[in-house]
Amino acid sequence: MTDLPRNPAPPIYRTATEPKLRLLIPLVVACALFMENLDSTIIATSIPQIAQSLGESPLHLNLAVTSYLLSLAVFIPVSGWVADRFGARNVFCGAIVMFTVGSALCGLSTSLAMLVATRILQGFGGAMMTPVGRLILLRSFPKEALVQAMTYVTIPALIGPTMGPIVGGFLTTYVSWRWIFYINIPIGLIGITLAMRYCENVKMPAPPRFDFAGFAICGVALASTELVLESAGRQLVPLSAELALATVAIAGMALYRWHARRTPNPAVDLRIFRLRSFSLSVLAGGVCRMGLSAVPFLLPLQLQLGFGMTAMQSGAITFVSSLGAILMKSASPPILRHFGFRKLLIGNGLLVGVLITGMAAFTDATPHVLLYAYLLLFGFMRSVQFTCLNTLGYADVPSDMMSRATSVSSVGQQLSMSFGVAIGATLLGLLLGDGGTVTAAEFRTVYPLVAILPTLGSLFFIRLLPTDGMQVSGYHPRGASPAQTASPRPTASSNAPAP
């Protein structure tokens, strides 16, 4: 007689037996997110000054943003395996060290090439730091406590984007743009200290062999795609080279799909996309993120180059958007319980598209109080979309696939953010032509074009069922039971083909 399969024993979480860890573990992860988010918003505010110091065009400085994001995306697939092999705490602390050292080297940069190279090093640290930190969080809390845990971790982390524009504007205007990178050094030391004290060094007993061939194929495909987006319309490389890169990108993606279907443990496990809620969070959510991620790059350029503001004046305005995000976090659990993922992602996605379009109406005569109110609302709604997308991605993922889901989701997030910045810079470049100077006029066209992305992405969430993600959101549509599930739940041993 064949034994019937038995359900594995539910995991035991330290947060259930040690209540103080329910706050301390999110605080540890928040230190990593704080550094990453502070870094991204600080550099956006300082782009015109860095460009002037290095003798470059401000539009070329988008390379300092996208090289970091692309480095994150390329190296994130390694993070889950490395954490399983060497222990989540060890990898997390090592990643913070690398990120901190990369930050110090960024501050010492004397050319755009050096800045891009050190940003890539910084991105390698971030590729391990943020997803492994998120993995620590996911392995420390049961699913029913995940929304609250995400709220704890994102509130401190959002202080970074709130402080970033003001701190970046102050340091750039009154000290030096180099200090926007040096500021990460003490934060990194605090993160290492907290992680060593409160996080478990969880390892997998026998992690599978890492797919280095798939990692290389995926990395080449992603890097080629980014380079194509960077060069489109700006002639950074000859047309023949651009076409060759596009061919490599398409061929690399096709080759990786073929490779992943024939590899037991691929670097990026595409089988996870069989989960409807996860695939929509990454793919449709990626389209939304591209539009939403272009705005923090475009807005400081509009205020400084278009309206003639200083970095300090610009930062004092753009920080309001992050303040709106912080205000949203305390409201996210009840909002999700009331509307559910489907209604919220569709309706809010359409609304943020309208808000981005409205930024085209900003002028140098627009009262600052109106700018504050508008960006506060935009920051609130933008954060609603991000929180829903991030939480939906893990709502129906089985525990034995959580590590892979974390890596794939993180790759998708970083790629969409990188592509969004590249698209914003490319649109500006196309409008300016050869040797043009950025003025306020270009933004009246760029913002409506960027707004198409979140508008289009939100429409794909029609495919969600009202019951998707109920266990996480707490939303119970009429006629559905709490135990009802609508998404298939593959296991790690599933042999289903990749999409």
Per-residue pLDDT tens for 365-424? 999 999 999 999 998 888 888 888 888 877 777 766 776 777 788 778 877 887 888 788
Contact indicator for 451, 291 with CB cutoff of 8 Å: yes
Contact indicator for 169, 310 with CB cutoff of 8 Å: yes
Give the pLDDT score at 156. Answer: 57
The CA-atom distances, in angstroms, between 380 and each of 322, 405, 454 are 8, 27, 15
Which residues, 6+ apart, have CB-to-CB distance to 463 below 8 Å?
Answer: 276, 280
What SS3 state is found at 262?
Answer: coil
3-state secondary structure 454-499: HHHHHHHHHHCCCCCCHHHHCCCCCCCCCCCCCCCCCCCCCCCCCC
Q: What does the alpha-carbon distance between residue 46 and residue 170 come to, in Å, rounded to a whole number?
A: 10
Stretches where the chain sits below pLDDT 70 are 1-23, 40-41, 141-162, 202-207, 230-238, 329-330, 399-400, 403, 433-436, 471, 473-499
Name the token pair of 464.
Answer: 């969600």
First and final C-alpha spacing in the chain: 36
C-alpha torsion sign, points 364, 422, 119, 318: positive
- The residue assigned the tokens 């060094």 is 201
Give the pLDDT score at 446. Answer: 92
Q: What does the alpha-carbon distance between residue 79 and residue 314 come to, in Å, rounded to a whole number?
A: 36
Give the pLDDT score at 20. Answer: 66
What SS3 state is found at 427?
Answer: helix
Query: Can you list the alpha helix ranges (DSSP code H) found in 108-211?
Result: 112-138, 146-174, 179-182, 184-198
In the DSSP assignment, the letter for residue 57 is: -
Which residues, 6+ apart, have CB-to-CB distance to 351 below 8 Å?
Answer: 381
Q: What does the alpha-carbon distance between residue 200 and residue 379 come to, in Å, rounded to a whole number?
A: 34
Contact indicator for 138, 80 with CB cutoff of 8 Å: no
Q: What does the alpha-carbon distance between residue 61 and residue 66 come to, in Å, rounded to a whole number?
A: 9
| CA 449 to mean position of chain CA atoms | 21
In the DSSP assignment, the letter for residue 380 is: H
